[in-house]
Structure 1
């Protein structure tokens, strides 16, 4: 192999940026050279990172958690929903995950490795399965002139293969749900581009559910002579988990022809006692392509026989029949090769498909079976893998056309910076890869368990749930709770804008759980007191742990008694109206109205002095569950006023004059109290307790106004906060939490002291929460502060994706130095709130987002370096470049 050359990558990257559909790589997205090494290596948050004062404050929690953790892991042999002792280390390797929503995902790293697996619902394996590779074989005049595994690795196994591809000759480009890997073959004058396509299509509820992906290899021959080119795809039967060695797994070749199209490949049957599945690698048959395969080989030792088989003639032996079931301790893999001729100075391409079929699932309790959504279209017998591949290989071009039609208007908007376009689409990975399950509603189920609120009730099977199924995704890959509601409040913008039926289905499930009660008592780890698992007429924290039985047993979170949290009920009410505003689904509004009244009645008890404003309890009783708050507060008080405002609006729409008058009175009194108790002339104080830190500047203090604006409210009759005070508060946040923190280049810190230093009173006040920052940026944009909003959000994108190497695992939080917390988290999906805000500004009177951004661009270009195309190159990694 020729030595690496630093100039080759930049030249290659610029050459393959093209708008040509199919072959070209788009200008927008996240790009990285395969030789890149991230300089900064961060550690996950651990108990030793807590300050002494916070340690003393939480000794009781620590002791109780340790006892609970020991019982969970050592006695019950279960995984804790949050494991404080075994946080995931940072691996700076991940790329675009493969697959649709709810059928499991497989993540392919930016260097090409298959390295993160979520096949069992909500449970992850972080193993790089080294035998899962693509290999290229070039032949000229009947002789093999080049054969190379397209991997930069040099593993201790499979040493009969040619490893160690020089990463300087290749780059990776991600624009979810697609990705491009471009390889220049040194000395061969050949360039390969692998285009990865998953069926993620807004407003599509069939193809988006499919557990399948297509990998198209474009081959460019720049020589004066023709070549025969073969691409070999190897795949292990399993995911790197210990059950790969459990025995009983077997492979078989298949051929499927229908509707004039044929596909061939190998089925890899993974026969575990619980949640068995079939992997499938396949290719589409064409007259000028040759498909060959190896049904089974051992992915151990040198594996020289498979390598020699391909190198001899560019094809595999293709034996007939199935492989015998593996013995215990044995692994088995399969290979599929597709060959084609590529004339001189021409292109050709080969198409592969990877699917996985696990149609019937059980969660950790093993109590009941759930049928995955995609089985409605492909059956639940476990034999769908060939049909899935056939469908994908004959429909992926249509998927791409629809993806380009969706993304095109945003990508072509020259007023939007390149980093924003990359962040907007790439952060969507979590909707698929967030442990997501999408299952059919059982025929005998009732979303509210047969219970109804006093004012009315939900249908047992709401039509939207019956038609579109149940949908759930995790708070985070490390915080393993489904549909964590205080966090979904931020993330929900992605669903309601792109897959609104799923957003409404999720809301019906939450509404159904509101009226239910679980009178089982358990210990709250923070307080040490026993409380009910679930209280009636209160929104649950989550709908369960995938290692237990979600929907059946809610509130896996047991650190606090969340029946006393001040934000959950309010976030439900705000989302109900926001969803109605965006969908205009009148039936949904009518169904949710009695539930909204019930949860607001439950919330009323937190207004203990009757001034129209709720009070916090003196501990961390909201989504900032490590940050104490006492008395009326900017965050919860603001959410309360916004919810009361929304109740007024819904009462008007539903002709409920008495309810309107009641909440109008509360709104008038509460707004006056909020202003009197919290406004300090520049911003709203963190709380009204009068403590030393009560006047800290909270970045999230305008969350209530954010949702009002997102719902078309916030002024006129439905105004809870004076516009001039909102803008002043946001300006204070920008000046202090953004610009006085890390040089203005890392987003907004949660809490800042007015003197310009972070609030270090808790483990969360001096963190940056990426999803909160995107929500804050959306709020700024709604209020006309477009430049400030984009600058604020850009700091997070640059930090996470370019500095820290956290692509496709955006964390909940990071500090200015050293620490991050909870990789691969739900909340950053709130970036779609920014898109809603930009679109809303275009629809309102006044300057458009584009006009405002032009001023920003002019300002940026004065004496400042231009922004790159989000490239992360080994020699040009930017710290935090200025906004484009």
Structure 2
């Protein structure tokens, strides 16, 4: 069906605004998932339309891969902004950028704030990387906006274009001709000498300015504004791009503006200056703007084409909404650095890294976040995925331990160890094997085999009592909760935990398969012995009769008998690899019954992390107040549990677990579609810690679970991943 509609999709996207109807035919309702039509898409979309003021953490980011971003907020203002290399914490602009003059009236296209703003109401619909906005104003002209940047699966270079397009639509709804003048003039930007330029039908102005971060005096950065069929010039506020249009009664017109930036130099946490990868393709912001002007129509056409695949996929509506939008976390958290020195360990591809969350917990490439959140890179940009794996291998210790991260803040050469290593040492080999399944690259697998082998053997050395299980090693002292040294790191576990020890068994299952593929029969034999021993002990220490308890330290007698939602994460780990379950199927089935009975109904906001057999929420650890992580809803715990339900054919419970959490994120008491949290409070439905965590991209493994597939099958020709890549690469029609 998709291929039949492709020509129509391309045609609709290529039509001018004067030939099109409304951008979308739904009104703001932040508590309802709606189905409606959107210009340029053949299939109806599933999404949430927000009014101004509904998203306290801000709107959708505009930007590409490793370019920096700026948010277009639902009130019509530009919000958080990192395009000027303010890392880790972004600048908050909070400034209007669009102005409309009708006759003698100059209107600020933003809702009123501190006496500034002439928009009465907003309907805001984001389908990343596109933000569609309708403004309600008093006057004879209706105004809407389509803003976007290039996010094009399969084309990392084009995604690395530092630019955003703002296409304003004006409709004369009166019976008289109207003269309209539009200005695009972002506030809060650096100032400096302005230089006009032109390219085809575009007119622009480039500003050269000192970097906002510390740099030598010779370093200059640039940004540019441009307009199609208009003029650009300095003004008293900085610079502006302007266009004037005469509208006949009933006529619709479109005016396209561009914002381009070129900020090549940035300083990482060690103090060393690096360069953005995009600086290899573009000399300055004028060059970026010229490229964007030539290609922005094609960007939009290709974006809408891959989105149409998802909206026509038959996947659950709440999942379509999240799959389209969650790649925003790459735009907010990614950096892509060029190779500029002969001793850089990365090659000409550059170094592509994703931060855990620049806005909240700025740590470069934490192992648990990569393990759960790398799916978009893996599926659509495997060449970038490999650069991160190369970085992890580069910093792996001789004893086999991989780094927990590459550094705090924005650091790329300050690796940290001995943190969540009980999980990370087993996660890293699985990342290697997932890449192999995605690409089929046999030389890669052989090349990385020693690194994977050493990491797994390091993991086994963390079995300090010789029972075949990796114990938890909390790094807290009595009376404190942090660092717990597990992914829920304000909740220490003791002895063997169902999560950590179970994932260790899954890592062995993966390792055995890798060893067999590369012909290391002796290593495979040793790991089979370890797996057999570990499985037996796991059952003896952790099985309660109905589920696997959270943890049990037989040496001290300390244990937690709560039913942990992610006790079967090990099963998810091996299912996505197409390998055998590390636990007995009858135990898995019974544990799923307990999770469905206890964890699933414990909060209206999602599946609670830990619940006792009598239904009491587990209250253990911190951080405190309304945020007790044992009773909260961690994203990775909820997601992996939901997918085990799906893999085992329990569709209703799996969809309920996944859908409830996502409904809270998009339509809960504190909606945060483009500021997704580390976890949710089971009490309030708000965040239990931070925003913009990149492990949310674990949802891109949901389609595998729904179809009962592994990575290789999901990426096969004709599958969802293949169809998205094909659509995103489609050439423009003649």
Q: Same fold (TM over 0.5)?
A: yes
1:378 matched residue in structure 2? 282
- Structure with higher Rg: it is 1
Output the CA distance in 1 between the equivalents of 2:104 and 2:586: 71
Match of 1:123 among 88, 98, 118: 88
Check the 8 A contact 1:279/1:357 in 2, yes or no. yes
For 1:390 and 1:252, how far apart are their aligned partners in 2?
17
Q: Helix, strand or coil for the counterpart of 1:687?
A: strand
TM superposition shift of 1:746: 1.0
Match of 2:576 among 686, 706, 710: 710
Shift of 1:256: 2.6
Alignment of 1:189-208 (within 5 A): 190-208=141-159
Q: Residues of 1 paired with 2:319 and 2:354: CA distance?
A: 27
Q: Which residue in the other structure is 2:169 paired with?
A: 218
Pick the aligned partner of 1:482 from 364, 371, 385: 364
User: Are the equivalent residues in 1 in contact too, given 2:564–2:610 (CA < 8 A)?
Assistant: yes
DSSP 3-state at the match of 1:671: helix
- Out of 321, 327, 339, the residue aligned to residue 428 of structure 1 is 327
Shift of 1:146: 4.7
Q: CA deviation at 1:468?
A: 4.9
What's the offset of the Cα at 1:363?
Answer: 1.9
- For the pair 1:467 / 2:349, whether they are aligned, the reply is yes
Is the counterpart of residue 679 in structure 1 residue 543 in structure 2? yes
Give, in whole Å, the separation in 1 of the partners of 2:160 and 2:707. 28
Is 2:106 aligned against 1:147?
A: yes
In structure 1, the partner of 2:249 is 344
The CA deviation at 1:778 is 2.6
Query: CA separation in 2, counterparts of 1:647 and 1:154?
Result: 58
Q: What's 1:785 paired with?
A: 650
Map 1:788-803 → 2, pairs under 5 A? 788-802=653-667, 803=669
Q: What is the aligned partner in structure 1 of residue 701 from structure 2?
A: 833
Residue 126 (structure 1) shift = 4.5
What is the CA–CA distance in structure 1 between the aligned matches of 2:704 and 2:174, rounded to whole Å? 49
Q: 1:806 aligns with which of 661, 672, 689?
A: 672
- Paired with 1:754 and 1:577, the residues of 2 have a C-alpha distance of 37
CA distance in 2, matches of 1:336, 1:211: 18
Distance apart, 1:492 and its partner CA:
1.4
Instruction: Please give the secondary structure, in 2, of the residue aligned with 1:821.
Output: coil
Distance 2:513 2:649 in 1: 24
Question: How do residues 443-522 of structure 1 correspond to structure 2 at under 5 angstroms?
Answer: 443-445=341-343, 447=345, 461=346, 465-515=347-397
**Which residue, 21, 31, 40 being the options, matches 1:21?**
40
Q: Which structure 2 residues correspond to residues 127-276 of structure 1 after superposition, within 5 A?
A: 127-130=92-95, 132-138=96-102, 144=103, 146-155=105-114, 163-167=117-121, 170-188=122-140, 190-236=141-187, 238=189, 249-257=191-199, 261-272=200-211, 274=214
Measured in 2, the distance between the counterparts of 1:32 and 1:195 equals 15
| 2:614 is aligned with 1:751 | no
Aligned 8 A contact 2:494 2:559 in 1 = no
SS of alignment partner, residue 302 of structure 2: helix
How many angstroms apart in 1 are the aligned matches of 2:425 and 2:494?
19
Judging changes above 3 Å, is the alpha-carbon distance between structure 1 residues 467 and 387 closer, same or farther for their aligned structure 2 residues?
same
Residue 505 of structure 2 corresponds to residue 553 of structure 1: no
In the alignment, the residues of structure 1 paired with residue 709 and residue 649 of structure 2 have an alpha-carbon distance, to the nearest angstrom, of 8
1:802-835 superposed Cα distances (whole Å, 9 cap, x missing partner): 2213231111123223563112222212111213
Q: Quick one: distance in 2 between partners of 1:225 and 1:389?
A: 36
Q: Distance in 2 between matches of 1:677 and 1:271?
A: 62
Question: What is the rounded CA distance, in whole Å, between the counterparts of 2:164 and 2:692 in structure 1?
Answer: 21
Residues 414-439 of structure 1: per-residue CA shift (max 9 Å, x gap) = x43322211222222111102x2101
Residues 780/582 of structure 1: CA separation in 2 closer, same or farther (3 Å cut): farther
What is the DSSP-based 3-state SS (H/G/I as helix, E as strand, rest coil) of the residue aligned with 1:567? Answer: helix
1:776 aligns with 2:641: yes
In the other structure, the counterpart of 2:567 is 701
Rounded to whole Å, the distance in 2 between the matches of 1:599 and 1:633 is 20
| Equivalent in the alignment of 1:603 | 459
Deviation at 1:13, TM superposition (A): 6.2
TM-score (norm 1): 0.71
In the alignment, the residues of structure 2 paired with residue 136 and residue 840 of structure 1 have an alpha-carbon distance, to the nearest angstrom, of 52
Supply the distance in 2 between the matched residues of 1:771 and 1:218 (Cα, whole angstroms): 41
Q: Cα distance, 1:386 vs. partner?
A: 1.3
3-state SS of the aligned residue for 1:466? coil
Does residue 1:668 correspond to 2:619, yes or no? Answer: no
Deviation (angstroms), 1:515? 3.0
1:593 and 1:255, CA in 2 relative to 1: closer, same or farther beyond 3 A? same
In structure 2, relative to structure 1, the CA distance for the partners of 1:843 and 1:470 (3 Å cut) is: closer
Structure 1 stretches lacking a partner, 5+ long: 1-8, 38-90, 139-143, 239-243, 286-290, 299-332, 448-460, 517-535, 556-560, 846-884
- Report the TM-score, using the length of structure 2 for normalisation: 0.84
Q: Identify the residue that residue 400 of structure 2 maps to in structure 1.
A: 537
Q: Are 2:592 and 2:645, in contact at CA under 8 Å, matched by a contact in 1?
A: yes
Deviation per CA, 1:710-730: give whole Å up to 9, x if none: 11112xxxx421223223223
Q: How has the CA–CA distance of structure 1 residues 801 and 822 changed in structure 2, closer, same or farther, with 3 Å as cutoff?
A: same
Q: Deviations over 1:219-276 (max 9, x none)?
A: 22233343332221112352xxxxx5xxxx414142233xxx2421222333136355
User: How many residues are matched?
Assistant: 661
Structure 2 counterpart SS, 1:32: coil
* Distance in 2 (alpha carbons) for counterparts of 1:731 and 1:838: 19
CA distance in 2, matches of 1:822, 1:19: 32
For structure 2, the 5+ residue unaligned runs are 1-23, 476-483, 623-628, 714-734
- CA distance in 1: counterparts of 2:65 and 2:549, whole angstroms: 41
Q: Secondary structure at the match of 2:260?
A: strand
Structure 1 residue aligned with 2:598: 736
Match of 2:15 in 1: none
